[in-house]
Amino acid sequence: MVQFRRLMFGYGEKPLFLNLDLTLEPGTVYGLLGLNGAGKTSLLKLAAGALRPDEGEISVFGHDPGRRDAACLADIAFVPEDPWLPAVKPSVWLDRYAVFRPGFDRGRFAALSREFVLEEDKLLSKYSYGQRKKFALAAAFASGSRLLLLDEPTNGLDIPSKTQFRRVLAQAVEPERVVVVSTHQVRDLESLIDPAVILHDGRILFTLSSEAMSSRLASTHLADVRMPGIIYAEKDAVGWSALVASGAGEDMDAAGGFGAGKSAADLELVFNAALAAPDRLASALKGEALASYNAGPDNGYAAMRDITEDRS
């Protein structure tokens, strides 16, 4: 188990986290979602022991990562968005660095290297961005660590590599392992993330399980959004992309006008709703009735633009 208790952290005089509490259970892939500057990478670095909190406690399987003892660090694998790799070949890297992780599985690493088509006879420092990312991911998945922290893992990967990554990530889920994926590319990973943790304004705004989203939320496309049951909507070229309460009735179906019924909740719409209409989202998750949606001509995008500008 990984726990953050009453976490306080900031850079200079600007606080980033204010009494943040979060518990991460093993056997789970957590999706950490938030705007630029919300603190996703900082939270991963705090969990990895690369940063220390100003106040509060962090526990990684009973250890404080900020103390940086060897056993704790060996149990944590952190893949940054842009990994740095030394000017050595993969075989030399294995001999120099894998020894610091007692659980490192060389056979698993070799299999992942083949799957990711990594070049064996090339200096790691000469790898492209995407190749560096795949090497770092292969090393993390083979590390034997019980905490995997992946910061924007699909950035730099081409389409086939993203497919490979999703397959490898699904295989990496183990009863004793916690996986945290920080990402803006939610549609790359929404089939694997469960739950989604939404970080905003220094706190955890929502922790949304796939069960809660599938039972309470749905996505649809509508010609008109002036009706109850709508949580959040974004104007597009031919109508509205809407996140709706799953129990919304026939009036909403009739208002579609495009023959598109309800589908599973789109995680990107859920994230935007969490920031732009948190009260309506919270009510829908509780199964409460929603008043008619008040949409201007640019409602969804205007709300998100205002939030984004506030963070900059």
Condensed to tens digits (0 to 9), the pLDDT of residues 241-279 reads 999 998 765 555 555 544 457 788 889 999 999 999 999
For residues 264 and 195, membership in a common domain is answered with no
For residues 198 and 220, membership in a common domain is answered with no
Give the domain-ending residue among 208, 228, 246: 208
Give the domain-ending residue among 158, 183, 208: 208
Among the residues of 98-158, which ranges form H helices?
A: 106-115, 129-141
For residues 244 and 189, membership in a common domain is answered with no
For residues 84 and 177, membership in a common domain is answered with yes
User: Can you tell me which residue has the tokens 């031919």?
Assistant: 238
For residues 82 and 34, membership in a common domain is answered with yes
State residue 312's pLDDT score.
44
User: Can you tell me which residue has the tokens 């630029």?
Assistant: 36
For residues 37 and 68, membership in a common domain is answered with yes
For residues 221 and 111, membership in a common domain is answered with no
Domain count, the chain: 2
Backbone phi, then psi, for 229, in 5-degree steps? 90, -10
Give the domain-ending residue among 208, 233, 262: 208
Mean pLDDT by 10 residues, the chain (312 residues): 95 90 96 94 96 96 94 95 95 93 95 94 95 96 97 92 93 94 87 93 93 92 86 90 79 50 87 94 92 65 50 48
> Helix axis angle, 129-141 relative to 106-115, nearest 10°?
150
Please give the torsion angle defined by the CA atoms of residues 27, 138, 183 and 217, in that order, rounded to the nearest 10 degrees.
-40
State residue 256's pLDDT score.
52
Q: Which two tokens stand for residue 193?
A: 């993330």
For residues 226 and 85, membership in a common domain is answered with no
For residues 289 and 200, membership in a common domain is answered with no
For residues 114 and 166, membership in a common domain is answered with yes
**Structural domain range at position 285:** 214-311
State residue 132's pLDDT score.
96
What tens digit of pLDDT does each residue of 31-52 get? 999 999 999 999 999 999 999 9
